[in-house]
């Protein structure tokens, strides 16, 4: 196989992996949306926050206030719903100025991008 063939095979592989990642991320968000909507403490703001997480997978309460155009207590409640469901995780270990991550989403984005030891 010539160098053009090897190049095109590489492009095809990368495109297939990107399509698989996009599909997996779409399925993850839809699964998490269903979990929110079926939760007893579900809220519209929690569902709206989930819709923002793919573009903002790391958030703080002030960031959620801005993203959703809401109050600090409402933002904190929305994060609390997602945290209770295991959708977001607090990453700082602090009581104040906490950051929350959409860990499963970030893990799927990272999958396959690690450098291989040779």
3-state secondary structure 64-84: HHHHHCCCHHHHHHHHHHHHH
Per-residue DSSP letter, 53 = T
Per-residue DSSP letter, 112 = T
Instruction: Provide the residue ranges of all domains of the chain, joining segments of one domain with +.
Output: 3-110
Cα separation of 62 and 68, whole Å? 10
CATH of 3-110, one of 1.10.10.1590, 3.40.50.300, 1.10.10.10, 1.10.260.30: 1.10.10.10
- Give me the tens of pLDDT residue by residue for the chain, a chain 118 residues long: 677 776 667 666 677 677 878 899 999 999 999 999 999 988 999 999 999 999 999 999 999 999 999 999 999 999 999 999 999 999 999 888 999 999 999 998 888 666 555 4
Cα separation of 90 and 22, whole Å? 25
pTM for the model stands at: 0.79
- Burial (Cβ within 10 Å: 0-12, 13-18, ≥19) of residue 112: exposed
């Amino acid at each position: 196989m010539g160098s053009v063939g090897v190049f095109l095979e590489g492009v095809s592989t990368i495109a297939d992996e990107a399509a698989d990642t996009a599909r997996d991320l779409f399925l993850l968000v839809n699964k998490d949306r269903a979990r929110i909507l079926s939760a007893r403490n579900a809220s519209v703001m929690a569902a709206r926050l989930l819709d923002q997480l793919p573009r903002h997978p790391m958030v703080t309460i002030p960031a959620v206030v801005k993203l959703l155009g809401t109050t600090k207590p409402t933002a904190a409640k929305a994060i609390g719903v997602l945290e209770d469901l295991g959708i977001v995780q607090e990453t700082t270990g602090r009581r104040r100025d906490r950051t929350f991550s959409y860990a499963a989403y970030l893990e799927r984005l990272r999958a396959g991008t690690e450098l291989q030891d040779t």
